[in-house]
Amino acid sequence: MTSEVLMLNKNAVVIAADSAVTTGRDPHPRYSKAANKIFDLSSHGNVALTIYASAEIDNVPWELALKQFRQQDAKTPQRPKLEEYVNELITYLQDNTYLFPKEVQSSLLNFRFYAAVLHVLNILKHTHPDFVDETKTDVERKAAWSSGYTVISSRFTAEAYQNPLTEKDHKEILANKTDLESLLTIEVNKLVEFADVGQLTELAIEALVKHPTNFLNYTGLVFAGYGADEIFPSFNHIWVYGHIGKTLLWTPNKGYAITHDNDAWIQPFAQSSLIDRFTDGFDSTLNEIIYEESNESYKNIISELQASGITIDAGLSSAIISKQHKDFMGKWRTKNWDVNFHPLRRVLNSLSVPEMGHLAESLLVLEALRERVTSPSESIGGPIDVAVITKAEGLIWLKRKHFFDPDLNIKYINRSKLNYNQN
């Protein structure tokens, strides 16, 4: 887990991130507080990138992949628009056999195929529970598979491919069906005994190209800064899942651009409950509580009326509750934003760069404090890095941790200066 926050006004964009990272898996995860999450993406100093969620792409640390990209970027001029850096990075990662050799991609396909198998079996568990019911006979469980296959296959066929995956990717993976099918043994998953392995393989492959985002892990990438032709800062946000076959799977998310008319913006990423309360006046937990309790209150009103002898048609009462509840939640959120988020944006418009940096750091300190006193994992914490990018100065670190002492590494400093002067 991690916590990050980004702020923009017409003067600059500020990014702050903690250093906590979780490695390993349950039941024995390991926590470290020395991870780098903010990177100088462009050799020209005009774009930074911060990551959250998974720290790797296809078994390669993001830090390594991004620094390799930056070396290549040194050979090219600044891109006119920030979004072009997104496309350039995706292109760089897409066909990079140096970082992702074919044998590694093949191994990853096997791993993701099995994740798709579990996804299909989980769907069947809900649509045809007899398939996983150990009290049923083998014949009944196999019959449940046969019926479930028909239903799920029909559903998958009607679905579109997950962009940028296409029918070509589907056919290329199907060409490996025999090899993938051989991975499905009773030793791997006992449910295979009651399924048609060929049919299960086909469904898993189709799930892998049509809705992989439902079951694969991702890394959040936030690009922030300026293109050469942009006077005000912006940010772009994407999720990257890794290669499926030969295609790199990624999906765009909502970004934001400062313009003459667009005011300042503040955006937290990953774990952000306390930051959300600061910016919006509520977080997802509070929103859910109010949603559930208010809906229950509306239902209780109808029940009280009916108990008093007033007859109300069930369909009518349901429609009234649905409409009033939706209106209430919308007005409640709007009111919170009016008294919290919108005034904060007006203040952000006038903040100086040092003030923005201090605010970003303070929010992460509070988020880490809350995590420390409420959770045994302490999955937020460690040194906080703060970077700022302005149009004139480029990327500047307001706070940055080092795993080495610069005074003891003069040769490294000189190499960095030499590379910078050559570029």
Contact 108, 251 (CB under 8 A): no
pLDDT band at 7 (very low <50, low <70, confident <90, very high): very high
Question: pLDDT (tens digit, 9 = 90+) per residue, 43-66?
Answer: 888 999 999 998 899 999 999 999
User: What integer pLDDT is reported at residue 25 of this predicted model?
Assistant: 52
How deeply is 354 buried, as exposed, middle or buried, from its count of CB atoms within 10 A (0-12, 13-18, 19+)?
exposed
DSSP state of 11: S
Q: Same domain for 57 and 38?
A: yes
Domain boundary residue, one of 197, 214, 231 = 214
Nearest Cα residue to 115 out of 184, 68, 186: 184
Question: pLDDT (tens digit, 9 = 90+) per residue, 95-128?
Answer: 999 999 999 999 999 999 999 999 999 999 999 9
pLDDT band at 204 (very low <50, low <70, confident <90, very high): very high
The span from the CA of 393 to the CA of 183, in Å, is: 55
User: What integer pLDDT is reported at residue 214 of this predicted model?
Assistant: 94
DSSP state of 28: S
Domain boundary residue, one of 180, 214, 248 = 214
User: What integer pLDDT is reported at residue 371 of this predicted model?
Assistant: 80
User: What integer pLDDT is reported at residue 314 of this predicted model?
Assistant: 86
Q: Same domain for 319 and 406?
A: no
Give the CA dihedral 141, 143, 144, 146, nearest 10 degrees: 130
Q: Same domain for 388 and 321?
A: no
CATH of the domain at 225: 3.60.20.10
User: What integer pLDDT is reported at residue 1 of this predicted model?
Assistant: 64
Name the domain count of the chain.
Answer: 3
Place of tokens 């903040």: 351
Q: Same domain for 276 and 300?
A: no
Q: Same domain for 19 and 75?
A: yes
**Percent of the chain scored above 90 by pLDDT?**
72
DSSP state of 215: T
Q: Same domain for 33 and 81?
A: yes
Q: Same domain for 175 and 226?
A: no
Provide the CB-side half-sphere exposure for 97 (13 A, CA).
4
pLDDT band at 155 (very low <50, low <70, confident <90, very high): very high
User: What integer pLDDT is reported at residue 423 of this predicted model?
Assistant: 54
Q: What is the mean pLDDT of residues 323-341?
A: 93
Tokens standing for residue 351: 């903040």
In which domain, by residue range, is 322 found?
284-339
Question: pLDDT (tens digit, 9 = 90+) per residue, 383-418?
Answer: 999 999 999 999 999 999 988 787 888 887 787 777
Q: Of 335 and 20, which is predicted with more confidence?
A: 335
Q: Same domain for 223 and 234?
A: yes
The span from the CA of 169 to the CA of 94, in Å, is: 14
Q: Same domain for 255 and 327?
A: no
Nearest Cα residue to 233 out of 205, 208, 281, 266: 266
User: What integer pLDDT is reported at residue 421 of this predicted model?
Assistant: 61
Q: What is the mean pLDDT of residues 241-249?
A: 96
Domain boundary residue, one of 214, 230, 265 = 214
What is the pTM (predicted TM-score) of this model?
Answer: 0.89
Q: Same domain for 258 and 395?
A: yes
Contact 205, 169 (CB under 8 A): no
Nearest Cα residue to 69 out of 54, 52, 82, 87: 87
The span from the CA of 7 to the CA of 310, in Å, is: 54
Q: Same domain for 198 and 173?
A: yes
Tokens standing for residue 237: 């946000």
* Backbone CA torsion sign across 391, 258, 278, 47: negative
Provide the CB-side half-sphere exposure for 300 (13 A, CA).
6
Question: pLDDT (tens digit, 9 = 90+) per residue, 56-93?
Answer: 999 999 999 999 999 888 888 999 999 999 999 999 99
Q: Of 409 and 27, which is predicted with more confidence?
A: 409
The span from the CA of 346 to the CA of 88, in Å, is: 34
Q: Same domain for 10 and 116?
A: no
